[in-house]
Amino acid sequence: MSHPEPNQDTNTGKLASLTARMDEAIAALAESTLAKATKLRRLFDAVRKVILLEGGAAVIEQRAPQMEAAGVFLGSDWAYPEILLPALSSYSLKSSETDTVIIEAISELRLLAVAKGAYEHPSVSSEQAHHYLTQVMAMNLDLLFGTMSEAERETQGRLALVTRALFRHLAERIGYEHIIDQLVDEIWRIVQQRPIQVGSVKQMITQIAICRANPDIDLGSSGQGADRLISSLYGTTQACREDPGVAVYYERLESMDTGALQYEASGFARAMHDTGLVSPYHAVLMRYLLDHSDHLLSEALGLSSTGRDCLMCYDDLVRALIRASVYPETAQAIYGISLTLERGILYQPPVAPALWRQIHLPLSAWSKERLRLVYGDNPLPEARLMEGVLCMLGQPLGVGQGNNPTCQSARALSMWAYNDPDYLLQMVVWAARDDEIVIHFEGQPISSMASLTGVASELSVDLDPVSLLVVPHLDRIYAEMGRRCIGREGDPHRWVNPEFHGWWAGRGFSINVDVATGKLTDLEGFLRHFYACYHPFFNRSQPLIHPQPAGVAITDSAARFIGWHAITILRVALDPQDVMRVYFYNPNNDSGQNWGDSVVVRTSGTGERFGEASLPFEQFASRLYIFHFDPLEQGELARVSSDELQRVMDHVYRSWGADRVPAEHLQAAAENPQAPSPPDPGGV
């Protein structure tokens, strides 16, 4: 019989003793109704001691559900894990405040338990938890691989050991040997969707680059796929291969001949269109070419014949846009300019003069302050906003709502950029210059300044520059439109969506949920109607002309209902495998999701364009609960087969509709046992 080593035995005994104290502290917190702060301090002290012992983090992970139930996160942002931002974890983990570090550690271990399937959380799915932890680790790789710095010792002391113990455990549970590779895969998955906001992606790439350059950190064979990502930002061409700094790079440009400049221009353009990321060095090159080699601008933007023709027609405007928006800190504006030219929207008569107006737009004091708060003073707020405008025009499907319940406003911005760019530019002017937007609802004006409350109680700052200024106004107007529908029968979106989004939103409206009871209503008729309106086989092959607002029931990977969500149906078409798919825009920042019951949203590989999400038609229909249509254009309802409809309804009954089956349907099924019946509302 083998005996444990003395130090191992000591650790085991100490861990058991401290775990018992921690369990007592959890119980005391759960039982207390008053003076919870005192009980919390006792629990935090126990957690701090336990996590520093070998195996301590695993013990805390096991008890994280009990801690949450006891109220450890009560009254804090950590009580809502669905809104936590990975980028903010660094501030908490490196804080000198013991309570902040400990509660962040408990939260990460709670999410690890969720990610591993040991804790079924009501607000976060296992995939969401895993995704969050992956980003947290990406943004704090120094805590995993780096040695403790003098700054950490000074500010945190022994508290720094807590964060490192936490990260060792996270890495061991996720897998040391795969962690960098997983991060690289995650980055590629995100950039494939071409979001406008790429700050967190660039931060993750920077952390990987720092770790790979540090001789004290051994990554083994992992992270090989990171080369293209790192070089796209810091070593795109031969002249900046070793990341010399923008000043040195500019000096090198001054000594280049035309051939060398062309090589630089084509190298940057290739990397930009490959990843959707733009190097700060690319911005230096663009500004240099304005004064020294105009004919290479097209090469540096990576334009096709369409984009080149547009550039030739609007050369003065494009040069002015570059001067106003392209700096090393706002390099993404280059991608926005390139894609805007490729879309050809400058040929729409109002767009070019609207962009000239934007270049010279005076910003209000409030707008400047808000932009400075998020992006700083370098470059000026006007340049930041111009970058945001160009990126939104070039990437209308890259708009994200951030961690805000403002999917309606994000969808509106995306739809206007996609379908009515001059209207978007007008909205930006009203918000940024006048601090007020006015939209009419059924002939009556609604002012964003007169409507003081919106859907979001407060807006976080994780938004692109345009959304940062415009969304607060749109959110208040949207909420006021909803208030003006109070007392009307049915869902207010019937009236709000066409007025809020634009005339092209169909005035016909269909919903499969009874608003008063929340129960399903006429599901089969709803589905037949959707097929007749949108499926090319049943609507005489009529393609969708304008993007249409729609509502889906979001479910997690276990097919449990999470909430209602606004999306845009963009098109319906056969994919490369001849599967009919619905391609749609999802404003929630990351469209690749597992909605359970084999419903997995794709963002690439099945015919998606950048920014699109897609599902097979049947699966999409099973999560749809609202759609708009033109009441004058009716398809053929009767042609949809009963078997196909039954498959879709089965998907509904196995997921978000499990507890929404009307009582009369259950009664009818009981009286006619031969008929196919929906499941018990108790649900799967």
What are 148-164's pLDDT values in tens digits?
554 555 566 778 888 88
Taking CA atoms, 596 is separated from 128, 260, 558, 579, 655, in Å, by 13, 53, 5, 20, 8
- pLDDT (tens digit per residue) in 478-515: 999 999 999 999 899 999 999 999 999 999 999 999 99
In the predicted model, is pLDDT for residue 676 greater than 50? no
Q: Which residues of 308-325 are buried (b: 16+ CB within 10 A; e: fewer)?
A: bebbeebeebbebbbebb
Q: Which of 274-288, 452-466, 523-537, 645-659 has the lowest mean pLDDT?
A: 452-466
The pLDDT of 593-612, averaged and rounded, is 92
In the predicted model, is pLDDT for residue 679 greater than 50? no
Q: In this structure, how many other beta carbons lie within 10 angstroms of the beta carbon of residue 6?
A: 8
pLDDT at 225: 73
Chain-centroid distance of CA 421 in Å reads 22
Which residues are paired to 628 by β-bridges?
509
pLDDT band of residue 56 (cuts 50, 70, 90) is very high
Range with the largest mean pLDDT of 213-217, 298-302, 590-594: 298-302
Taking CA atoms, 547 is separated from 506, 550, 574, 576, in Å, by 10, 10, 18, 22
More confident residue, 306 or 176: 306
The DSSP symbol for 73 reads T
Cα separation, 126 vs 245, in Å, equals 41
Taking CA atoms, 28 is separated from 32, 44, 67, 327, in Å, by 6, 13, 11, 56
Helix (H) or strand (E) holding 422: helix 421-429
- The Cα diameter of the chain in Å comes to 88
Cα separation, 135 vs 86, in Å, equals 6
- The dihedral over CA atoms of 162, 163, 167, 170, expressed in degrees to the nearest 10, equals 70
The pLDDT of 392-405, averaged and rounded, is 90
pLDDT at 3: 43
Q: Which amino acid is at 482?
A: G
In the predicted model, is pLDDT for residue 682 greater than 50? no
The pLDDT of 28-53, averaged and rounded, is 86
% of the chain at pLDDT higher than 70: 89
The DSSP symbol for 571 reads E
Pick from 580, 583, 623: nearest CA to 604: 583
pLDDT band of residue 673 (cuts 50, 70, 90) is very low
More confident residue, 616 or 77: 616
Cα separation, 345 vs 284, in Å, equals 26
Cα separation, 127 vs 557, in Å, equals 7
The pLDDT of 190-218, averaged and rounded, is 83
For the four alpha carbons of 440, 444, 450 and 455, in that order, the dihedral sign comes to: negative
Q: Which amino acid is at 171?
A: A
pLDDT at 677: 37
Cα separation, 288 vs 250, in Å, equals 8
Rg (CA), the chain: 27
pLDDT at 454: 64
pLDDT band of residue 184 (cuts 50, 70, 90) is confident
Cα separation, 219 vs 225, in Å, equals 13
Q: Which amino acid is at 351?
A: V
Q: Which of 251-260, 424-433, 584-593, 621-630 has the lowest mean pLDDT?
A: 584-593
pLDDT at 359: 97
% of the chain at pLDDT higher than 90: 64
In 464-538, the DSSP E strands lie at 508-511
Q: Which of 150-159, 335-344, 363-372 has the lowest mean pLDDT?
A: 150-159
Q: CB of 203 within 8 A of CB of 139?
A: yes
Q: Kindly report the average pLDDT of the chain as a whole number.
A: 88
Residues listed for the chain? 684
Cα separation, 524 vs 637, in Å, equals 10
pLDDT band of residue 9 (cuts 50, 70, 90) is low
For the four alpha carbons of 491, 495, 501 and 503, in that order, the dihedral sign comes to: positive
In the numeric block, which tokens belong to residue 402? Answer: 């951030």
Q: Which amino acid is at 420?
A: D
| CA terminus-to-terminus distance, the chain | 48
More confident residue, 640 or 655: 655
pLDDT at 80: 87
Cα separation, 617 vs 584, in Å, equals 11
In the predicted model, is pLDDT for residue 295 greater than 70? yes
In the numeric block, which tokens belong to residue 475? Answer: 């959110």
pLDDT at 70: 92
pLDDT band of residue 173 (cuts 50, 70, 90) is confident
Q: CB of 684 within 8 A of CB of 678?
A: no
More confident residue, 550 or 638: 550
pLDDT at 478: 94
Quickly count helices (H) and strands (E) in the chain. Answer: 30, 8
The pLDDT of 48-62, averaged and rounded, is 93
pLDDT band of residue 562 (cuts 50, 70, 90) is confident
The pLDDT of 414-439, averaged and rounded, is 97
pLDDT band of residue 611 (cuts 50, 70, 90) is very high
pLDDT band of residue 568 (cuts 50, 70, 90) is very high
In the numeric block, which tokens belong to residue 650? Answer: 């089965």
Pick from 578, 681, 555: nearest CA to 125: 555
Chain-centroid distance of CA 133 in Å reads 15
